[in-house]
Amino acid sequence: MTQETMEYDVVIVGAGPAGLSAAIALKQLKPDVRVCVLEKGSEIGAHILSGAVIETRSLDELIPDWKEKNAPLQTLVKRESFLLMTRKLGLHLPVPPQMRGRGNYVISLGKFTRWLAAQAESLGVEIFPGFPAASLHMENGRVAGVITGEFGRAKNGEQKPKTYGGGFIYHGENNQAAIGFVVGLDYKNPYIDPFAEMQRFKTHPSIRKLLAGGRRISYGARALNEGGLQSQPKLTFPGGALIGDSAGFLNVPKIKGTHTAMKSGMLAAEAIAQDNLENYPDAFKHSWAYEELYLARNIRPMFRFGLFPGLLHAAIDTFLFRGRAPWTFKNHADHKQLEAATHHAPIEYPKPDGVLTFDKLSSVFLSSTNHEEDQPCHLTLKDSSVTAKLNWPLYGSPEQRYCPAGVYEIIKEGDAPRLQINAQNCLHCKSCDIKDPSQNIVWKTPEGGGGPNYGEM
């Protein structure tokens, strides 16, 4: 089938804070430029989950009158604590300078993203939710656009006669790939269940005391493969630029980085306006965002040696060297960090009580996750025999545990394990693609509009 081509000057992939900031900044600099933003979620903010704390530095630069424009920043941080929690106690420690949040705002990142989208549309940016960028469109060795995913194809691969539609080519004179920014935590140990850990967090005596006093606690967990500036050595490629990436622009000690992601998009917009993407990496390196991330570059890597070595090094790096230590530790891919199941005892969590703790599928239900069931599975295996040969005997199939939605399930057929994939539950966190020890799982874009619908979360 011949694919229809949509012509734009700039195509931005991902309607997150970075992509939308890039679109807004570009239209401010060049009002006549034709800009479109593609978003795989059913609506803007549908795939954005975070109880975020946002610094307004980038927002002040991008939209100085954001208060008059009713930006959804309402809850000012006035008090904060840094707790080291044992099983029964919460020990108060000095709040490291980079983690201080006073003067910042606790926000719904989904609501903030929707507000940014409205600002972009008021400037003439065209935004298309429900259109996942499934592949790149190449011309003469450079990226010339993106191809959106098909819809209306059945599980068996055949086109449905009444609903099939081929993907569109979104062709751009300049093209910018913006990977959606997320805020979250990376779980090194495959036998830790993120949902169960959050449930146990809520039952800790110190947290229960805060909740009993009427305090509200916001948190979100989502898997990341790396973390920190060093994980993105290259920011541009022929025909495109990488902005807002969850690894490259996450400020690890703050567990937030919306402002740095936004700044990366704004700097990319300036480079596009100058018609020279090659200026972008240098501009970013001379920005305050780079400086901030550089000072935090050593925080994340040391935690792979454990909590206390990580805390000790973070304290030395933060309070003694102020982030300017004469060394730089390297991050390592998560899938290379897994240890054999025989080296660990399984963690037995208490059964959910339905009051403070809940089972995994009940939590998935709250995300309003949904996919058209009669479509090709977007979670595929390079080699279906790897489960029986490697993942199960050596690691105990950790995909059952690090997936927060119960997508992966081991079914015993006699003595042979078979990996069943319940793709309908997928939250699009991509933990499996990132954590799979054999890198056997391939995550592809499902039909547009599928996945979670987080609403105002």
**What positions carry a catalytic annotation?**
50, 222, 258, 403, 426, 429, 432
Instruction: Round to the nearest angstrom and report the end-to-end CA distance of the chain.
Output: 40
CA distance 37 to 127: 5
Map tokens 């967990």 to a residue: 221
Tell me if residue 264 falls in helix, strand or coil.
helix
Joined tokens for residue 136: 């790149």
DSSP 362-377: HHHHHTT-B--SSS--
CB under 8 Å to 77, separation ≥6 — which residues?
53, 101, 102, 103, 104, 105, 106
DSSP alpha helix (H) spans, 213-345:
258-273, 279-285, 288-295, 307-315
Question: b/e for 386-402, b at 16 or more Cβ within 10 A?
Answer: bbeeebbebbbbbbbbb
Task: Identify residue 82 by its one-letter amino acid code.
Answer: F
Those residues with Cβ within 8 angstroms of residue 321's Cβ, 6 or more apart along the chain or in another chain: none
CB 115 within 8 A of CB 72: yes
Which residues, 6+ apart, have CB-to-CB distance to 300 below 8 Å?
227, 228, 252, 331
What does the buried/exposed string (b/e) look like for 96-118 if buried means 16 or more CB atoms within 10 Å of the residue's CB? bebbebeebbbbbbbbbbbbbbe
Please tell me whether residue 345 adopts helix, strand or coil conformation.
coil
Pick from 61, 42, 53, 60: nearest CA to 79: 53
Task: Classify residue 70 by burial, with Cβ atoms within 10 Å: 0-12, 13-18, 19+.
Answer: exposed
**Which residues pair with residue 220 across a beta bridge?**
none
Nearest-angstrom CA–CA distance, 166 and 137: 14
Three-class secondary structure of residue 180 per DSSP: coil
